Amino acid sequence: MEAGRDEVKDSAQAFVPAGAKPLETIKGDLNGDGIEDALLVIDPPAPGNLAAGENGPDRIVMLVLGGADGKWHLAARNNKLVPCSNCGGVMGDPFGYARVSSGSFTVVNSGGSRERWTDSYTFRYAPADKAWWLEGVSRQVIDTETDAENKKDFTAAELGKVRFEDFDPSSVPAVTLP
């Protein structure tokens, strides 16, 4: 069991570490059990020793399950899925949005300047494993001056069987303009 997965709290927001800022809280049924859960995107505090122009830490994405006991339980977390607040280039903060469907969720990031990129990551819950597995990644890049575009959808079959908490976006091939 991953460290911290047995944490139990009275509210989903109680999982936000001290000094961190919640960017997004999306409620929905993450594991298909009919009980409301929450996906949290959290901006951790930047270390005090960052020089101007240096990137801060990537965001934390937590999956917090509502229990039949009325308590919230940390199920999984990923510290690499959403880049830091200034990692989106000229476009600014790269975190776009998240959405939850019954038993699955998607996180979308985007950024760039002349070449704008968008990455969409989808995970699906597997009840037998009590885990969320990577279902697919969509990567797109568009040149804003020429309208040249390249998009590639990667399936779980292409990327391998990867748990949400182990997923690193840098493991997915980059999509570039021809």
Cα(121)–Cα(41) distance, integer angstroms: 14
Q: How confident is the model at residue 4 (pLDDT cuts 50, 70, 90)?
A: very low
| Strand, coil or helix: 171 | helix
pLDDT at 86: 87
CB contact at 8 A, 134 and 158: no
pLDDT at 1: 36
H or E, element range at 60:
strand 60-66
Domain membership flag for residue 154: yes
Domain membership flag for residue 55: yes
Query: How far, in whole angstroms, is CA 123 from its chain's centroid?
Result: 10
Domain membership flag for residue 174: no
pLDDT at 48: 74
Domain membership flag for residue 79: yes
CB contact at 8 A, 37 and 17: no
* Placement of tokens 């804003």 in the chain: 144
- Could you give the number of structural domains in the chain? 1
pLDDT at 53: 59
pLDDT for residue 29 is more than 90: yes
Q: Cα dist. 149→66, 94, 115 in Å? A: 41, 19, 9
Q: How confident is the model at residue 52 (pLDDT cuts 50, 70, 90)?
A: low
Domain membership flag for residue 2: no
Q: How confident is the model at residue 51 (pLDDT cuts 50, 70, 90)?
A: low
Query: What rounded mean pLDDT belongs to the chain?
Result: 92
Domain membership flag for residue 137: yes
pLDDT at 131: 98
Q: How confident is the model at residue 156 (pLDDT cuts 50, 70, 90)?
A: very high
pTM: 0.91
Instruction: Tell me what the mean pLDDT of segment 67-79 comes to.
Output: 94
Domain encompassing residue 13: 8-169
Burial environment of residue 15 by CB neighbours within 10 A (0 to 12, 13 to 18, 19 or more): buried
pLDDT digits (tens, 9 = 90+) for 76-130: 999 999 999 989 989 989 999 999 999 999 999 999 999 999 999 999 999 999 9
Domain membership flag for residue 1: no
Instruction: Tell me what the mean pLDDT of segment 16-44 comes to.
Output: 95
